[in-house]
Amino acid sequence: MSRTAFPHADSGVARIAARFAANAAAGRKAVAPFVTAGDPDTATTADVLAAIDRAGATLIELGVPYSDPIADGAVIQASYVRALAQGMSLDRLFAMVKDVTGRITTPVLAMVSYSIIYRRGIDRFVTESLAAGLAGFVVPDLPIEESDDLAAACEAAGLALVRLVTPTTPPERAEQIARRSTGFLYCVSVAGVTGARTSLPDGLVERVAWLRTKASVPILVGFGISTPEQARAVAAVADGVIVGSALVRRLAEAAPPQRADSASPPGQVVAAIEQHVQDLVKAVETSAK
């Protein structure tokens, strides 16, 4: 793949920036739901992505199932197991995303382990992601010191490479990460793994305020946010929220064929997810006014 930068207005980076600009114009903050590709099956994932789009989300994070996730808690780990058991693969994921991104306007970013990218080959992975219509990547296990090759490939393709800052990231390193993140900066609210929590951590407001002085992109907060009330509180100080485990837990209720008599129908679960995202969007609209 050529490493000549793409200035196109429809690049992933540009599409993400346009969504944040639209939010600012409308006086609202961002909601970025996370769901796992292939959980409980590919068709349901496609329906969920369309539902999240209808609900008014700013962005969508699509988890690429991985057998050894690092930062994910029990709920998302279990979703990866279910997706892999159903035969989810990169080829299936790219085909599904290509179909869905042709029908929705919400940019989709892949939450993906660097080991998956590396095994596929950086240029091939980026090229296939671009062809599928992805807007960028969140790569939680890629140290900034080892990210130059992927960053260069993303820049050439116009795709975002979102970086993560955690509560334990030293200030000097956090500043470097903030300055190099594209699309947005992912501020992890708590140390540990993903999962819904009942309260927000101390020091988050101050940390987001400090990161604002270092980053040139919007700051979204994730890990532990599940309710509209929590989303409203975080959106009062950040540019938006990332919500994952609360939605993935609902998807666990969707019935695969062998459990049709003991679980909720997928259509019912998709409708519940759409309503939950709508509630989150309304909550952050309130916080922005």
Residues acting as catalytic residues: 61, 72
Tokens of 279: 């509630």
Helix (H) or strand (E) holding 138, with range, is strand 136-138
Beta bridge partners of 222: 188
Burial of 145 (0-12, 13-18, 19+ CB in 10 A): exposed
Tokens of 94: 């790219």
**98: amino acid identity, one letter:** K
User: Cα–chain-centroid distance for residue 281?
Assistant: 15
Is residue 211 within 8 Å of residue 244, measured between CB atoms?
no
